[in-house]
Structure 1
Amino acid sequence: MSTVWNTYRIEDIADKITIGPFGSRMKSDAYVESGVPVIRGTNLTGSKKFSGDWVFISEQLAKQLENCCVSNGDLVFPHRGSIGEVGLVDNQFHQYMMSSSLMKLRCNPNIADSEFIYYFFKSHQGRYELLKNASQVGTPGIGQPLTSLKNIEIKLPSLGEQRKIAKILSDLDDKIHINNQINQTLESIAQALFKSWFVDFDPVRAKIAAKQEGKDAELAAMCAISGKSEIELQQMAEDDFAALRATAALFPDGLVESELGEVPKGWEVSTVGEQVQTVGGGTPSTKNVDFWDDGIHYWTTPKDLSNLTDKILLNTERKITDAGLKKISSGLLPKDTVLMSSRAPVGYLALSKIEVAINQGYIAILPNMKYSAEYLIQWCEANMAEIKGRASGTTFLEISKKNFREINFICSDEKVVTVYTKTAKTLYDEITSKAKENQSLINLRDTLLPKLMSGEISLNKNMGSIDD
């Protein structure tokens, strides 16, 4: 049974509402190497957890600006710039300072649960309330930010029901966050392995060093590949030890000079264009409804990649029809195509797990029998500085397919690539699984959010149960 929902103004449920310091009181030259972290608009990126780089001010300056400090449970909102975002302060740091573009709300804990209020402002209604008084001329801003915030109306159930609702939504967000962390770890493993084998050539260098010292070169390479000591290798299962030795045997025991510097003996230098197929895309006329209405084919722009946390493309904002697809020379690209944005900005990457058509803002890299999608996306990561360095343009930087295809490409031993792919594919399969799970969790959360926050769905006495 649900409780009665009463209407309040934000001012009625607040212990404190303040705005960030005037810009003159906290200029960028006040930043120090460590101290009190400053929350800026760039740290609010749509999730409950803050992200991005931190800047710091001294403890002394923080004391002078004490009224602008925020701590665990406070909510922060931009009143200039990225209006509509909201952040819930956690206890990662003892205290924070808010920047001059933010304002804070500290809830009265006897009336309002701060996490429930956070989710209200994540709902369409809450976001609308934050945006309705904003000017969109020039940099978005709210003329009277504190007054606007104070006067926002919100309906609240009992404090106990607020906490139950917030817990349901928070549990979903926490699971999404955990999956994101797992995926970051898995991708880091794939990236570290690629760098060790195909950039730093660690197994090759280990063999060279061992030979110079009169030691077992294969054993040294096994240590380099596995990260284990010789004693730990001896404790491995027989089959695992044999598989590791077989992998170590694939690496040469010498380096030779090339136009790229030293490369493993027997590995050749080519160009990416000679080794894999690359294609671009296009945009069917947006004025022709025959190309877009009731579209059935995924069609992507780099915007679809800008918010990805996993570099796995599972969906697109828009779809095109059969007629629209015929207007794109590269057609429908297969699953496991590597997508790289070629402009505005250069360098977004994703592994497409759907058949997809692309617009002109991409270079798509098609895997082949030797070079897998998992190998190629890590090759792009490892060579991103070179890729961006070849971009040019006056309005915005862009790398052409011609310039991309000319980038040097080390032709690694095919058997080594195969072993890497086997490991990397396992990692990326798990990343894809977690990304799909997150997609379902996000859809569930976004479906429940407005219904829970409006009382359309009520909770029964069991916290985990929802009444329709």
Structure 2
Amino acid sequence: MASWKKVRLGEIVQINPESLTKQFPFQMIDYIDISSVGTGELRETSQYLIHEAPSRAKRLVRAGDTILSTVRPNRRSFLFLKNPKENQVVSTGFAVLRPTEHIHPRYVYYLISNQSFTDYLVSQEQGAAYPAVSMDSIKNALVLLPDMRTQEKIADILGTIDDKIELNIKINKTIDETIMTLYKYWFIEFGPFKDRGFEISELGMIPKGWKAGTLGEVIELQNGYAFKSKEWKCEGIPVIKIKNIVPPFINKEDAAYVDPSLFHRLDRFKITQGDLLIGLTGAEIGKCGIYYFEEPALLNQRVGKFYSSVHEMNTLPFVYAITKLPDFRQKILDRSTGSAQPNVSADEIKKMKIVLPPDDILKKFIRFTSNYYAMMIHNANENDRLKKLQNALLPRLLSGEMDVLDAEKHVANMM
């Protein structure tokens, strides 16, 4: 610890070093808004012509920068930019942290990833309706800094975990695209079945022997349970609420909890690994996500759980593909009631029209896609375990409490 010292963050990073000017060489920007960033995760970006871009699209970034949301710091929205696009621009709601020669780029990211740093930001936030932290508060934050060699070792250990997580995310994206390519080829283009001849249906032309069926012919849908406010606990069995649906998966970071005794008497509302959930109301209506965790959970009201209604056939991979179609949410919304707060019933969802093939073709599609579905669950679950490992190692490494060699052994065993 002799080579470790306390410094202010502003002494070792540049904050917001570059802004958009008239000299920007691109007509189109790739924009990162606050809502696009989770905890170390970029969900999506938006493309704008530069003259049509939001007024907050001002901050320029480079490889090795870390962006940190200054709004509602308790949400822990930050991201390390390994290879940003040349025309990448981020919102002024972010602080862009650019490392100086005194700090390893990834070490900056891990410093601000530490929960103690988040706790500091929360203690500095101002404003009740729109809590935010100032650039001065970020600049004046005290952090513990080791020598560069130690920084490199720590960044390498934690970066190995992040690289594996990133790889799993990319693999899952490819798997997802593969499932959808197969679905579209079979059930929209009817590629393998064109020699069967076609007939008219209420859904348009379909192969002979197929039909315009309903979602309810392949699934049932279980509504969630209305828990009482007095039943909520700080720990116990997780309860999945509508806000936890973050397609294509379920996010448990802000899950509520109830006493384990409730789990045994609410059998209908149990969620297990591989279940597919759907939002039934409000802004989340029609959003779907796979529950990939090994730990079971319970289903809250306003959330539905799909399960197969076909004997000896798990139709969830087929239904998952349907939920990913561009018009799926609109079709759900069209079946909802209420203008200010749309709501949709399980029965209405089950009435949604879909193209249904004969059972042998459906079974074949499910056989092809079930392994893909299972692989997505495996990769997402592995990422959950890796994040837990990283969360356990990070504060101990950044405080000097844990030896780097011990941490390397932990990671090697896990990987």
- Report the TM-score range of the alignment, normalised by the length of the smaller protein: 0.7 to 0.9
Report the counterpart of residue 321 of structure 1 in structure 2.
260
State the Cα distance separating 1:372 from its structure 2 match: 1.7
Q: How far, CA to CA, are the matches of 1:464 and 1:182 in structure 2?
A: 25
Residue 282 of structure 1 and its aligned partner are, at CA, apart by 1.1
Task: Tell me if structure 2 keeps the 8 A contact 1:38–1:57.
Answer: no
Is the Cα–Cα contact under 8 Å of residues 73 and 121 in structure 2 kept in the other structure? Answer: no
Q: Is the 8 A contact 1:85 1:127 kept in 2?
A: no
TM-score (norm 2): 0.83
Flag the 1:439–1:294 CA change in 2: closer, same or farther, 3 A: closer
Identity of aligned residues (%): 20
Cα separation, 2, equivalents of 1:394 and 1:115: 47
1:7-406 equivalence runs, <5 A: 7-14=6-13, 16-18=14-16, 34-47=27-40, 50-56=42-48, 68-80=59-71, 84-94=76-86, 96-109=88-101, 111-142=102-133, 145-205=134-194, 207=195, 253-288=196-231, 295=236, 299-306=239-246, 310=249, 318-323=257-262, 326=265, 328=266, 330-332=268-270, 336-344=274-282, 345-352=284-291, 356-367=297-308, 368-369=310-311, 370=313, 372-382=315-325, 383-406=328-351
Alpha-carbon distance in structure 1 between the residues aligned to 2:215 and 2:31: 43
Q: Cα offset for 1:428?
A: 1.6
**Hey, what's the Cα distance between the residues in 2 that align with 1:108 and 1:352?**
41
Relative to structure 1, the CA distance from residue 95 to residue 4 in structure 2 (aligned partners, 3 Å threshold; closer, same or farther) is farther
Give how far 1:157 is off: 0.7
CA-CA distance at 1:125 after TM superposition:
1.1
Structure 1 equivalent of residue 396 of structure 2 = 451
Amino acid of the structure 2 residue aligned with 1:360: Q
Q: C-alpha displacement at 1:435, in angstroms?
A: 2.0
Structure 1 CA distance, aligned partners of 2:213 and 2:30? 47
**How big is the shift at 1:190?**
1.4
Specify every segment of 5 or more residues in structure 2 that has no aligned partner in the other structure, as ranges: none
Task: Give 3-state SS (helix, strand or coil) of 2:172's partner.
Answer: helix
The 3 A distance-change label for structure 1 pair 403 and 181 is: same
Rate the CA distance shift 1:108–1:410 in 2: closer, same or farther, 3 A: closer
On the 8 A contact 2:245/2:288 being kept in 1, the answer is: yes
What number of residue pairs does the alignment pair up? 398
> Deviation at 1:380?
2.6
- Report which stretch shifted further, 379-388 or 254-263: 379-388
Report what 1:237 is aligned to. Answer: none
Quickly say closer, same or farther: Cα 1:81–1:135, change in 2 above 3 A: same
Preserved contact between residue 123 and residue 449 of structure 1 (Cα < 8 Å): yes
**Partner-residue secondary structure (3-state), 1:279:** strand
Contact 2:249 2:290 in 1 (8 A): no
Deviation at 1:164, TM superposition (A): 0.8
1:421 aligned to which of 355, 366, 370: 366
TM-superposed deviation, 1:124: 0.6
Q: Quick one: which amino acid aligns to residue 268 of structure 2?
A: S
**Counterparts in 2 of 1:160 and 1:129: CA distance versus 1, 3 Å:** same
Query: CA contact under 8 A between 2:79 and 2:109: conserved in structure 1?
Result: yes
Structure 2 CA distance for partners of 1:39 and 1:387, relative to 1, 3 Å: closer
Q: Secondary structure at the match of 1:141?
A: coil
- TM-score, normalization: structure 1? 0.74
Give the 3 Å change call, closer, same or farther, for CA 387–82 of structure 1 in structure 2. Answer: farther
1:309 positional shift: 5.4
Distance 2:290 2:86 in 1: 39
1:311–1:350 Cα contact (<8 Å) kept? yes
Query: Which structure 1 residue ranges, 5 or more long, are not aligned?
Result: 62-66, 208-252
Q: CA RMSD in A?
A: 3.6
Task: String of CA shifts for 1:355-397, please: whole Å, max 9, x gaps.
Answer: 5431112222211325522112222333343123323434433
CA separation in 2, counterparts of 1:81 and 1:299? Answer: 24
- CA spacing shift, 1:310–1:188, aligned 2, 3 Å: farther
Per-residue deviation, residues 159-185 of structure 1 (Å, max 9, x unmatched): 110111011111101100101111111
Secondary structure at the aligned position of 1:162 is classed as helix
In 2: Cα distance, 1:422 partner to 1:392 partner:
36
8 Å contact 2:241–2:300 — kept in the other structure? Answer: yes
Q: Structure 2 vs 1, CA of residues 319 and 185 (structure 1 numbering), >3 Å: closer, same or farther?
A: farther
Q: What SS class does the counterpart of residue 199 from structure 2 fall into?
A: strand
- Check whether the contact 2:234–2:257 (CA below 8 A) recurs between aligned residues: no
Which SS does the other structure have where 1:357 is aligned? Answer: strand
Structure 2: how far apart are the matches of 1:56 and 1:407?
A: 35
